[in-house]
Structure 1
Amino acid sequence: MSFYRSFLLLLSCFYVVFSGANASDIITSSEPLRDSGTVFSSGKRFKLGFFSPRNSANRYVGIMFNLPSPTPTVVWVANRDKPINDSSGLLTLSEDGNLVILNGLKEIIWSSSISNSMKNSTAQLLDTGNLILKDSSNGKVLWESFQYPTDSLLQLMKMGIDKSTNSTGLLKSWRSPDDPSVGSFSAGIQLQYIPQAFIWNNTAPYWRSSPWDKQIYIGMPEMKSSYRSGVELVADNAGSVYQTYSNGNQSWILYYSLNSTGSYQEKVWDQSKKDWVVTWANPRSECDIYAKCGAFGSCNPKSSPICSCIQGFKPKNEGEWEKGEWSGGCIRRTALDCERNKTDVEKGKKDGFLKMQTMGVPDFVIWVSSAKEDCESDCLSNCSCMAYSYYTGIGCMHWNRSLIDIQEYYMDGAADLFIRLAYSEFAANDKKDFPVAAIAITVSIGSIIVILCGYLFWKLLAKHRERKTKSEAFFREASPKCYQNGMIKDDINQVKIEDITLYSFNMLATATDRFHSASKLGQGGFGPVYKGKLPDGQEIAVKRLSHSSGQGLQEFMNEVVVISRLQHRNLVRLLGCCTERGEKILVYDFMPNRSLDAYLFGSRQEKFLDWSKRAIIIEGTGRGLLYLHRDSRLRIIHRDLKASNILLDEYLNPKISDFGMARIFGGNQDQARTIRVVGTYGYMAPEYAMHGRFSEKSDVYSFGVLILEIVSGRKNSSFYDDEGELTLLAYAWKLWNENNIIKLIDPKIFVSSFEKQMVRCVHIGLLCVQEYAEDRPNVSTVLSMLTSDMAELSTPKQPAFTGGHASPQQSQGSVNTDTITVLEPR
């Protein structure tokens, strides 16, 4: 027995020596870290050890995420400019208490370099990824890696200037993916008057955010603090200005990094792929490159060319501008009032301001204390003021020099910029005295123009008739029965479909590998959906109408008509269709994250969807619905809004899909009635399900059910075996009356700091599902309530379908939530 114990003791000694793994998260002079060893943080979130980049034999000491990734995710490197060329390296504590890296010759390759000698020190890797050096006697932190970042920003780390620790935290890129030495790019916060984030290429600005409005950088809604789990920028009177973030949902692993090409990225760990997913990155386009269009030039990534001079300005060098060299910028065509000579006849005519909407404002902003109503006049009274803008959260901003780095945005949250121009740039064409010859010439030219316009109008009318004939021929060929019965003629008259692409069957078959089962994304009552790739590499989703689907033909035609010309960031885009060989096929943009229901109720449950992301999905869905109801050139009622019809793009932004049930409303039409009730039980408003009446308010009802499902993580029809067999609506109403609405919130996403926002969403959801349509708010009001904490919410009335237990028969109207339920009232 004694021999057996001795053998086990000896074996354990060999294990400790040869495994190289430290027993704790501590490094001391007696327990150094060797090249073969690893130190893990207490919660095993991070590890510290030696590593070699890909395609390199050099050895470095780094902090890494402890994740099952094929290559280590290194977030901090100690000896980034002094690698060790063999495996003899040692991380230990020197006699003066510094943390040092030694090579095989016991030479110091790297040191923490604290000036005060402290022999009783230890190093510890925290679960935040911070490596600290502390005094063992009193626990005082002497040095920490968070004060010396490399290319990555972890939560609680500070990027910028922190006067309390006299540290400047700049992210500095690797030279290349194979070389962690300091590269060309750095990122940090610059404080002039209002903080802005910058990326520099060596010392030259490479990318710049717009000013910080105490929640986001203007024009960067992806940085919203409620969305990104606590992104915060601190600027105090002591001179500190730094950006940090805290992740409220610890199951969601994310960090920010600056790569060797100058791209600042947010990365989120995808557990299913065992890899990182880049959810956003800056620069986003060529227009994000600093001062791309020079002074007084505006950059639009959707234009060609991307650079143009602001109205009232012209290229400084026409030749260079035509060659695509825009850095020289633009100059003013007409001098401002205060810049003109006193003898100038224009003297006394006041300058004006050109309004440019949704802009990335210029660099070198100056904050002024003017009230909103005085911001313009104060700029006008200062001859050096070139532009102004007023933005909630910042206040009045002026620019007193050439306007640099202006970009046109296509997103919510951007600013309106007012550019100062001379009076003559706005003046209407003045009436002037023309000589008789000039009048004759003018009349002649006018006559020619009238004749040309008449001819062009005739050609346009002929083209329109031809286009309409082709459109009707397409529909007649695709669905002769529907066309003959007049089911879609009215819709054809309300929408043009000339821009829709008609794909060949062979092209779609090739794109989907002959509609192979391995390409199938899902199956609904209409038929299967496949993933495909076109010859140009574009990924698509192909919905193939099943021949056995009797109800799918009209829905196919309806979807082509309704969404062929709709464009909105929160609507899925129809690329085209195919009607060859008797097929009915629709082609859409591919949504890599599929549908919302898979995340809320299915196999992807909990993936990424913390409260912040769910709030963005709610708001984005509302914005898409508002576009359908009010902002598009057609007024459209969706009639089948549900979780399975909300698709998620690569960044998990919501896209409303499946317009097979949608109806177009006339300009003065508020509601309609049908004898063919279509939709999915549980999402249908009572007036629609019972009487066939539908309107904007019936979509609002469906939206309310969706809000409650997103907040609770439960299906409306998932309460049959618990909670007294109540529906989700009835359960929410019960908790509301018991003043216990917090119980409804999905416990997996509950964070106390967001409690008020979650409860408010439940309140809004209950307002949307009130029994009578006239009691429900419209979508515009719902969005206002979602995005503003200031709005006072009314008390909801009892929702529909809460009078008793859920009916099992009713609940089985659609076994597959993707299947369309059709109810025929008698």
Structure 2
Amino acid sequence: MRLILHKLLLAFMHLWLWWSSSNHVHVDAADDSLKPGDIFNSSSQLYSKSRKYFLDFYSIQSLHKAFTYLAIHSAYDTTVVWKGNRDQIVHPSDPVLSLNFSGVLKIESSSLKKPIILYSSPQPINNTVATLLDTGNFVLQHLHSNGTTTLLWQSFDYPTDTLIPTMKLGVNHKTGHRWLLYSQLTYGRATPGTFNLEWEPREQELVIRRRGKVCWKSGKLRNNRFEHIPEDAQGVLKYSILSNGDEDTFSFTSTNESHTRWWYLWDIGRLSYNEKEGYVARADLCYGYNNTDGCQRWEDIPKCRIPGDVFTKKNLRPNYENFTFDMNQNITYSECEAACWSDCNCNGFTEIYEDRSGCRFYHWNSSKDYIVDGTVSGQDIYLLENKGNIIAHRHGTKRWIWITTVIAATLLIICASILCLAIKKRKHLLQEKKRKEMSLIEDFGNDLNKKHGLKVLDYTLVVAATNEFSSDNKIGQGGFGPVYKGTLPTGEEVAIKRLSRSSAQGIVEFKNELTLICELQHMNLVQLLGCCIHEEEKILIYEYMPNKSLDFYLFDCTRSKLLDWNKRFNIIQGIAQGLLYLHKYSRLKVIHRDLKASNILLDENMNPKISDFGMARMFTQQDSISNTNRVVGTYGYMSPEYAMEGIFSTKSDVYSFGVLLLEIVSGRKNTSFYDDDHPLNLVGHVWELWKDDKYFELVDPSLNEVFDHEEVQRCIHIGLLCVEHYANDRPTMSDIISMLTSKSLIVSLPQKPAFYVQRYMYKENLSSLELCTGSTV
């Protein structure tokens, strides 16, 4: 009975697919978009607007099987640059890509038990469209009634084995999503293979790994060139590196539109450009012992392998008596090579199947076990030979051996004696230093605890609280080091900031800074609870903020809806109160110098608290202005006199507050507002709206027009006063709080702001894809 029902179900599915393809509108080849209800099948093609790329179902024959994939091709030479179903094969006769009226983008086929879901929203979304852009990016967007769009899904977030211009490599710090290239298992099968290409943000370089082990690095980027990538592979490329609290990414563009270039990762470790034109990296030549051209030395090289040993492709007629098999079709060239390399009895190998999978390993005693004869048909064998010029001579005279032995022994004795003396002296100095340091730390801890009530925690307790500083516990990156969530033995949750070891700050200076921070006590400042000092480690323990930072909500399309106008206005007032305390009512005047949304933390009641005083400067209340040669902070929030001349004062924080206030009202980053027709940042845009009396157009659409119009107008007015070009024209924090809380009319009128300062600094790094409500095309 079950069998009959199963057959009926399959018959119904085929009938439905036939009816769908017969009665629905097929995508026209000249169209660049798939709309709800359209059916895209094996006979359909979707071209980008300028016909640079096209989308179709692409089939390839391998091992007497047909492998079919949803693929994006370059129209220049039909090269496949992206595949949508690497791990799941669909039947070549009836694959269907569809977008339904609930916003679900999926691939269906009779060979699949269930559809491949490319995108599905938790809640149905009406009015969506899937478009192939001229960048080669296939995007799914939500079309809003006001003419704006929201990006829901994009193929660029799921690279396969090809990196094309503007596609990213790197990591999204907010979601943890990583952008990587993975090689393809074989020519026909798109399953991820042995190698991957990734961006290493800490060292700012490209890395190729084989099964997780680093085998090649590009070297540092200097003057738009990587050290270990050939010049002819970089000639027309311009690299872009983005590093901020949201993401660390690498991408490139072509400076010559007529010479488009992309990178392709083969499953032998070779990274080529335009698939076969030339190479970017030759990780296939990195045998573990060499460190040239970006190759990385391995720690586990077999003793039988020496520099110069490489696999050379030769056409031979082998003796089949001494060999073993591995007929696994998932074993490819690179793994055959690795297996033979690690087996000291292996002299070479050949692939078994026509798609270059499977291995036959040869164990020969001499060259007589194979024949090199051009008149006899042979087969391609990868033979292990030595091509190096640095192999040590194995034979020499006895006299040379004795001389070398005596010299080496003498040098060894001398070096050992010097080393013993140095170790003994160093040990004594370290013991003395540790004794003094422990005494200083003990006095330091007693003093902080007695005078300020500050806990001085043991290092082992801090390590246990953060699970040994696990990456899973990392919740942010402050101005001078990473921040981890920790749980003390009492059950109290805390935020633990581990200051960078590169800091030149000593224990005495660290004590002085802690003493000053302890003096700052206000409900709108994050409270310092304790500290820890251990050898070179200097650690701060703060109260834990469960609702993360303001930018986590403000600049996210979904989470921004949790911030209604009352919450936003409360946050604005809280930040202002915190700044007023720092500028006027604390024992020492404090200028924060890095006020931005990511440095505003939210407690369980969404009350704001200013954090990260790593860049703050403190003065007596009589001082009012200072100058520095080292400008720190975040461009876009810096006042013009600080960014250009290094001059900062409390009015520098006022400028930053003004930018932040306008971001809270609009729900948009100051640096995300740019297009060719309207080349202004957010501050400049607000000024244009203010002049035209259209300032309510600025309000975040996620508020759904539910807000106090008088309060919003007042906030925009205050924000523009804060970003005045000249510091003396900006209000003080006392004035700002008075204007926020008073219902009376604000007398001062804003002047043209200093928006042009950031305009040029950010032009190259902006992307409309960062916007929730702006166009994503």
TM-score tier, shorter chain, comes to: 0.3 to 0.5
TM-score by length of 1: 0.37
